[in-house]
Amino acid sequence: MKNIIENMAKLVSKIILRIFLIILFFFIILAITKINKNVLAFAETVEALGNSNTDNNENKFFKILEENQNQINNKYITASMQSSNQYPQNWLNEFNKKIIELQLIFPNDMYWNHMGEKSSNPHENNNMYSVTEIPCNHNEYGERYCNAYYGKSDDVYPYEATSVQCRGFASLLSDLVFGEDAPVRVFENYDELRIGDQARIDGDYHSVFIIDKTDEYVIVAECNEDLKSCKISWGRKIMREDMERVVCY
């Protein structure tokens, strides 16, 4: 009788152990699948790198890039590799390649406008690649010579005239990097902020494009920080405390 009880106990223990292992295996598979989905969702936005425009705009982009390649000596500002484990493999390398191209298309200290050219409707994408050496004069001309870009970001921030000046520039950079069909979500948490996000700062009054991030600060690309000239800037540092409770996407 004693042997029967011992054998039954061993059998029950084996059954319980196998059930536990099966459940554990199931949760491991579930966790791996979830991680892979998250990485894939982020990596999918990178697949469109350089393929985000219509044929005409894409041709224009690379034509300008080729023309500027040997003419502009930029001090390139790119994302550091300190947080590379937060991103899919090689993602930051591809991001930085695109950022260098964009700094050639939109050089630091130039102006994202079409001053000196024929005035056009600022609420169209006609001048999205126009860069000049002449600052805007918003007091005299308003938005008449400012550039504009209406892209994917308008799906989450669809207010009139937001895609002129700083807002349009940040939106244009985002679409040129990730493509016009990349998923968009809105949040207000610094810890969720990632390289490549856009942010509305200064009381929802100015837009920037995040090109690097640490626990203490972000580095941004932007246009029209002074609210009057449409000046292009790469590399401004904004401290974490100034980014808290900021709208990001």
Note the pLDDT tens digit of each residue in 38-94.
Answer: 232 333 334 444 444 445 666 777 777 776 665 555 678 888 877 667 788 788 999
Residue 53 falls inside a structural domain: yes
Residue 43 falls inside a structural domain: no
Band (pLDDT 50/70/90 cuts) for residue 141 is confident
Band (pLDDT 50/70/90 cuts) for residue 30 is very low
The pLDDT value recorded for residue 80 is 86
120-140 pLDDT, tens digit per residue, is: 665 566 688 999 999 998 888
215-236 pLDDT, tens digit per residue, is: 999 999 999 999 899 999 999 9
Instruction: Please give the tally of structural domains in the chain.
Output: 1
Residue 183 falls inside a structural domain: yes
Query: What is the percent of the chain where pLDDT is above 70?
Result: 66
Residue 178 falls inside a structural domain: yes
The pLDDT value recorded for residue 98 is 93
List, in sequence order, every residue forming a beta bridge with 201; answer none if it has no partner.
206
Rounded to an integer, what distance in angstroms lies between the CA atom of residue 158 and that of residue 13?
61
Which one has a higher pLDDT value, 202 or 213? 213
The pLDDT value recorded for residue 109 is 93
Count Cβ atoms within 10 A of the Cβ of residue 15 and give its class: 0-12 exposed, 13-18 middle, 19 or more buried: exposed
Residue 121 falls inside a structural domain: yes
Q: Kindly state the average pLDDT of the residues 141-157.
A: 82
CB 222 within 8 A of CB 173: no
Element containing residue 139 per DSSP (H, E): helix 138-141
Residue whose tokens read 């969702």 = 41
pLDDT at 209 over 80: yes
Residue whose tokens read 């948490």 = 189
Count Cβ atoms within 10 A of the Cβ of residue 154 and give its class: 0-12 exposed, 13-18 middle, 19 or more buried: middle
Residue 114 falls inside a structural domain: yes
Angle at 151 between CA 170 and CA 137, to 5 degrees: 50
CB 77 within 8 A of CB 99: yes
Residue 10 falls inside a structural domain: no
Residue 172 falls inside a structural domain: yes
Residue numbers of the domain that contains 92: 48-248
The pLDDT value recorded for residue 35 is 29
Average pLDDT, the chain: 76
Q: Kindly state the average pLDDT of the residues 183-192.
A: 85
Residue whose tokens read 């990349």 = 182
The pLDDT value recorded for residue 54 is 45
Amino acid at 133: E
The pLDDT value recorded for residue 22 is 64
The pLDDT value recorded for residue 103 is 94
